[in-house]
């Protein structure tokens, strides 16, 4: 990660774009709420400072008495984990790491709620991959796909003309 520029990202459809001035702790949370909210194997978030939505507006679901989660109402991409500020907690915002344009640079540094991880998660690195013959067999299918996903950088207008 570099510190001389802010961190941009957005949802899959591009209706929402965001920018964070700096990043804090990156984590993988295996709690059942993060599994459900992301529709994935875990919540993978990084805390952010000076966070701004630069295009569109988040919609929120209050998933508990102390947390609300922001997402794109147009495409459904989960984007934020927002803890209320209370007398005993400072509050804060976590952003979905995969929603950042340079997500590969933001590696988690801690696991949370590991006891409730999906039991097969630990076996993922050992799973087989598609064979070369299978890959070749579907190459034409993939070659014909036209992506409607927003590119991994800010755009002046969207959709692109």
DSSP structural state of residue 100:
B
Report, in Å, the least distance between residue 53 CB and Zn ion: 12
Span near Zn ion by CB under 5 A; candidates 46-54, 57-65, 67-75, 116-124: 67-75
Kindly write out the interface string for residues 4-43 of this chain, putting x where it contacts Zn ion by CB under 5 A and - elsewhere. Answer: -------x-x-x----------------------------
Report, in Å, the least distance between residue 149 CB and Zn ion: 10
Contacts of range 20-23, beta carbons closer than 8 Å, 24 or more positions apart: 20/48, 20/49, 20/50, 20/51, 20/52, 20/95, 21/48, 21/49, 21/50, 21/51, 22/48, 22/49, 22/50, 23/47, 23/48, 23/49, 23/106
| Cβ-based nearer residue to Zn ion, 75 or 113 | 75
Question: Which one of residues 6, 33, 55, 74 is an interface residue with Zn ion (CB under 5 A)?
Answer: 74
Report, in Å, the least distance between residue 14 CB and Zn ion: 6
Closest CA to 46 of 80, 12, 16, 76: 80
Total residues in contact with Zn ion, by rule CB under 5 A: 6
**Contact residues for Zn ion (CB under 5 A)?**
11, 13, 15, 72, 74-75
């Amino acid at each position: 990660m570099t510190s001389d520029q802010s961190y941009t990202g957005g949802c899959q459809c591009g209706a929402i774009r965001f920018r964070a001035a700096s990043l804090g702790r990156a984590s993988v949370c295996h709690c059942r709420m993060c599994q459900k909210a992301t529709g994935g194997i875990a919540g993978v978030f990084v805390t952010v400072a000076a966070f701004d939505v630069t295009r569109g507006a988040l919609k929120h679901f209050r998933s508990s008495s102390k947390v609300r989660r922001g997402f794109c109402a147009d495409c459904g991409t989960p984007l934020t984990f927002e803890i209320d500020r209370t007398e005993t907690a400072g509050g804060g915002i976590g952003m979905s790491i995969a929603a950042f344009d340079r997500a590969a640079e933001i590696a988690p540094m801690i696991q949370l709620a590991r006891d409730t991880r999906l039991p097969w998660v630990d076996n993922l690195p050992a799973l087989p991959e598609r064979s070369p013959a299978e890959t070749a067999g579907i190459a034409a299918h993939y070659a014909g796909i036209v992506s409607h996903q927003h590119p991994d950088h800010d755009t002046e207008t969207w959709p692109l003309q």
